[in-house]
């Protein structure tokens, strides 16, 4: 899902950026708690992952994108995404290598920890810098290097969009997007029935141990914004594993099932839960109380806003 409001007052700025003009003065943004300064507007950006690509699309930055990575190897895409991406090439279907990135000669890589980069891995801000590539890090992922960060909130998305706007001289467009999202979230919260305290479990993957969302992952913020409770919000991580026994003991009343490209997606996950010796007794499983959501609907990006509406509608249909 993309949002690209036209802000007439910035048409001249957008045109100037298209031709690579320098910024009037340096721009500094926060990058995982460290200042990151741009003396000129980036002209050749590579973006990792479908959710961050949709952030860039929402600001109309396709003309600045020379590649994307980490999409076709994992995820389903929508016709809207494919149309908006157009001819921007995918440099790597999963995690990129240094060679993938350097060959595209970008000046900016928009990625995150475990969103295209791994701490201590081959592709990091430190390994890219000698090649003239600056790295803008997805804020939700900063917790992997800084455990003192606050729990996830919708502000992570809002702030990252405002950062992109500042970097590319599209402050007004970014502000309009964020204002629209905040208004839409308020509408969703006002329309949702009484789901306060509803116990929610997100099932991403995993047979022996479920992979799910913890305190620092965006789904926790989405669930809590609706008034419900993520039963794994006490996990001191963003995404990680827990035990089936812990999930069953919490007796979730509602499920979020990740609808991945591989296999049967959400249908396969539900079938596994229905046949699992402890999970088949959970309230949500017995009632088939769930909503299937795609990856980009649960990671920081524009799609999470309407995903919250889907969650609210599904909760209302089975709980109220």
pLDDT at 316: 87
* Cα-based distances in Å from 203 to 83, 165, 167, 247, 290: 30, 33, 36, 10, 10
Q: Which long-range contacts (CB under 8 A, 24 or more apart) does 141-144 make?
A: 141/112, 141/113, 141/114, 141/115, 141/238, 142/32, 142/33, 142/113, 143/216, 143/237, 143/238, 144/113, 144/114, 144/119, 144/238
Distances in whole angstroms, Cα of residue 242 to Cα of each of 37, 204, 281: 39, 12, 18
| Confidence (pTM) | 0.89
For residue 33, the model assigns a pLDDT of 95
Q: What's residue 192's pLDDT?
A: 86
pLDDT under 50: residue ranges of the chain: 1-21
> In the prediction, which pLDDT does 91 show?
97
pLDDT of residue 264: 66
Class of residue 129 by CB neighbours under 10 A (exposed 0-12, middle 13-18, buried 19+): exposed
The answer to whether 111 touches 48, Cβ cutoff 8 Å, is yes
pLDDT of residue 294: 92
Report pLDDT for 23: 61
């Amino acid at each position: 899902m993309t949002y690209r409001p036209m802000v007439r007052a910035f048409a001249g700025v957008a045109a100037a950026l298209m031709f690579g003009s320098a910024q009037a003065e340096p721009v500094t943004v926060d990058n995982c708690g460290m200042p990151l300064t741009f003396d000129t507007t980036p002209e050749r950006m590579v973006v990792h992952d479908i959710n961050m690509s949709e952030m860039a699309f929402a600001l109309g930055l396709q003309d600045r994108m020379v590649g994307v990575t980490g999409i076709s190897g994992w995820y389903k895409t929508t016709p809207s995404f494919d149309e908006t991406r157009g001819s921007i090439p995918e440099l790597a279907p999963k995690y990129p290598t240094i060679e993938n990135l350097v060959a595209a000669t970008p000046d900016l890589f928009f990625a995150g920890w475990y969103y295209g980069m791994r701490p201590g891995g081959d592709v990091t801000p430190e390994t890219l810098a000698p090649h003239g590539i600056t790295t803008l890090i997805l804020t939700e992922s900063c917790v992997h290097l800084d455990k003192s960060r606050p729990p996830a909130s919708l502000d992570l998305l809002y702030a990252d969009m405002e950062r992109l706007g500042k970097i590319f001289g599209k402050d007004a467009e970014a502000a309009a997007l964020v204002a629209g999202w905040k208004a839409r979230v308020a509408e969703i919260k006002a329309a949702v029935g009484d789901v306060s305290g509803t116990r929610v479990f997100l099932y991403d993957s995993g047979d022996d141990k479920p992979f799910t969302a913890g305190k620092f992952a965006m789904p926790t913020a989405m669930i809590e914004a609706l008034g419900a409770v993520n039963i794994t919000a006490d996990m001191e991580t963003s995404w990680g594993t827990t035990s089936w026994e812990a999930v069953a003991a919490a007796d979730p009343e509602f499920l979020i099932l990740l609808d991945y490209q591989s296999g049967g997606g959400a249908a396969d996950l539900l079938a596994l839960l229905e046949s699992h010796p402890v999970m088949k007794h959970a309230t949500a499983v017995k009632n088939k109380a769930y909503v299937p959501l795609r990856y980009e609907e649960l990671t920081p990006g524009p799609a999470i806003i309407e995903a919250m509406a889907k969650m609210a509608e599904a909760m209302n249909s089975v709980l109220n």
